[in-house]
Amino acid sequence: MSSQAEEQPKANRGPAAGPENRRALIAAAREVYAEGGLNAPFSAVAKRAGVGQGSLYRHFPDRTALAVAVYEENVAELERLMEPDTSTLDDLLTRTVDQAMVSTAFVELVNGDRHDPRVAALGERYRGVASRLLAREQRAGRAGSHLEVEDVLLATGMLAAEIARSDPDQRLDVATRVRALFHLAFAPR
């Protein structure tokens, strides 16, 4: 009814918005995946980020690209957190629980795209963290010598998946129980 500018579709903010949008998309994806799992509508990510569909596709041409971006942040954080000499395998389990929702989405995804190099690279970095932790713990006599890095990877993977599967209000309980099991399994004999 006004004589000008009938609709204002949200001002095209120009190229400057690029990196900002990218960040918004990753954050939105983290939330959406956490709530709805990996099969949440892809378009829901754009909507939640307050960004056009097209921009989502420009930044992340496929589902894997987006998931990798999300998980990349998690791995980076993990690398940082697990660096100090005082960090333990148990810290890794704790961290896994915290990140379970995203981790699981990532794991789900990876099992579709196992051979995607982007995915493989991230997997290697994660494995590196686990490997360094394990070696350190074994040296300190806090982890059994029977353990190999694959065991640790399996443990964290299963833990994350189990948490993600669980009823939200049982997660604390489940986490405690599962960590106790792996404690026993990891202990020196």
Partner DNA sequence: CATGAATGAGGGTTCATTCAT
Partner DNA sequence: CATGAATGAACCCTCATTCAT
Name the site residues for a copy of itself (rule: CB under 8 A): 39, 107-108, 111, 114, 150-151, 154-155, 157-159, 161-162, 165-167, 174, 177-178, 180-182, 184-185, 187, 189
Q: Minimal distance in Å, beta carbon 154 to a copy of itself?
A: 6
Q: Minimal distance in Å, beta carbon 110 to a copy of itself?
A: 9
43 binds, among DNA, a copy of itself, none (CB under 5 to 8 A by kind): DNA
154 binds, among a copy of itself, DNA, none (CB under 5 to 8 A by kind): a copy of itself
CA angle 15, 21, 27 (to 5 degrees): 165
Q: Minimal distance in Å, beta carbon 25 to DNA?
A: 9
Of 71 and 86, which CB lies nearer to a copy of itself in the complex structure? 71
Of 24 and 175, which CB lies nearer to DNA in the complex structure? 24
DSSP notation for 38-81? TTS-HHHHHHHHT--HHHHHHH-SSHHHHHHHHHHHHHHHHHHH
Contact yes or no for 144/134 (Cβ under 8 A): no
Q: Minimal distance in Å, beta carbon 20 to DNA?
A: 7
